[in-house]
Structure 1
């Protein structure tokens, strides 16, 4: 499913149930319990995303391992919280990196080919020279 957002509500309940390997009534029960929250159409029918189907498969796996529905709900809640916190950490890391790069007075210097001083933004690299220099010793000069 390349190019499709995993959160797009694509599947009717029968298709989602088949993809998850469950009965449609089980999906209705999980919706009532809040284990999965499908999107609703204007006519109030359920539409499941690929993310919902993956979550349904996870619920089935945990249930087959003997975890109660209450335990599954708690596990899913904690997994969602971890995902949200991870996204927040990435957001804050990006903001910190931007701040460090754009902080006034924060500069890095490098030496140019001719010995001149080159001012660089923090976090950037100088251009590497790629010329090839061939050196042949003169026969009249002792090394």
Structure 2
């Protein structure tokens, strides 16, 4: 099993241009062109040497696939930009959903009900029903 050193992940810039080109199945000059066009922008060392991450290599493969399907480099750039924006928006939605869930759980005055064989009873917010098999329903207080 391959062990990844601590502090490294898929975005860690660890590959030289030669290694990244080999991993992506491309020529190093092609990687330089993609960098100039902004399709794949590797990190740079203090000496201005390109360093590619696994994420960059995956993006290179995606560019290669789209190019082989006849998509122009400008079209590929637009597709990648929209994919990046979509990913960022999805991450933001997840963050906002978490914040909203936290805010709802901390609201005062929430009413929580449990339904069981004995009928419907009110339970404390955040508590579980006493008997297994009961259904819990919560409703916000009506506003206004």
CA contact (8 A) 1:6 1:50 kept: yes
1:125 and 2:138 aligned: no
Task: Map 1:45-124 onto structure 2 (within 5 A).
Answer: 45-108=49-112, 118-121=123-126
Counterparts of 1:5 and 1:14 in 2: how far apart (Å)? 20
CA contact (8 A) 1:110 1:118 kept: yes
Q: Name the one with the larger strand percent.
A: 2
Unaligned runs of 5+ in 1: 130-143
CA contact (8 A) 1:30 1:36 kept: yes
Report which of the two structures shows the higher radius of gyration computed on alpha carbons: 1
* CA-based RMSD: 2.6
CA contact (8 A) 1:110 1:119 kept: no
Task: Map 1:15-30 onto structure 2 (within 5 A).
Answer: 15-30=19-34
1:68 and 1:54, CA in 2 relative to 1: closer, same or farther beyond 3 A? same
Counterparts of 2:122 and 2:71 in 1: how far apart (Å)? 65
TM superposition score normalised by structure 2: 0.77
Aligned residues: 127
Unaligned runs of 5+ in 2: 116-120, 133-144
1:27 and 1:84, CA in 2 relative to 1: closer, same or farther beyond 3 A? same
Counterparts of 2:91 and 2:97 in 1: how far apart (Å)? 10
Q: Helix, strand or coil for the counterpart of 1:67?
A: coil
Counterparts of 2:3 and 2:111 in 1: how far apart (Å)? 42
